[in-house]
Structure 1
Amino acid sequence: MEADKLGRRIRAYRKLKGYTQEGFSKKLGVSVSILGEIERGNRLPTDDLLERIIQSLKITKEDLVL
């Protein structure tokens, strides 16, 4: 999946669940700048981080790639 599409979907689900970028990055244990880069499509999350994002948002991997 393209980084920009994945980032946009992560951002959309984060906002839908009511997390701020700062609060969500703390929950994931990453800096706000890393989360911002992922959401802007400038960086792909590692497999481990992607799994933490999915679990934190209570979504499936398929939700992000549809």
Structure 2
Amino acid sequence: MDHQDFGARIRKIRKDRKMTQEQLAEQLNISPSFLGHVERGTRTFSLDMTVEVCRVLKVGPEVLLRGSLPEYTPEWSEDGTNNELAHARKVLRMVQNAIEYWEE
């Protein structure tokens, strides 16, 4: 994974949320300096901290790890009802894949 891209995504989302580095760092209980290093790609977060960043910024891990959200295309069963269980399974697989990608 490219740490500079990862950090740039955090910076972009933080700015989109109208947050300063100081505000995000405070919510994450880290120093603004460390957050700055992460945003520049010279340092990185642990998996646990990445999950916390996702929670605070209200984004899924795939957004930080890959930079995009997969398109939501609901599946429909033959009787015309939306198959939410199948969609939930797909989302779970995407999150698992994102975590595996992060751990590489």
Determine if the TM-score, normalized by the shorter chain, exceeds 0.5: yes
The corresponding residue for 2:21 is: 21
Q: Which has the higher contact order (CA 8 A, sep 6+)?
A: 1
The aligned runs of 1:1-66 (5 Å cut-off) are 1-64=1-64, 65-66=66-67
Question: For the pair shown, which has the larger CA radius of gyration, 1 or 2?
Answer: 2
Q: Which has the higher helix share?
A: 1
Structure 1 unaligned runs (5+)?
none
Q: Which runs of 4+ in 1 moved over 6 A?
A: none
Write the distance in 1 (CA, Å) between the matches of 2:23 and 2:33.
Answer: 12
Structure 2 unaligned runs (5+)?
68-104
- How many angstroms does 1:61 deviate by? 0.8
Tell me the percent identity.
36
Q: Deviations over 1:8-47 (max 9, x none)?
A: 0000000001110001100000001110000000011111
RMSD: 0.7
Counterpart secondary structure, 1:10 = helix
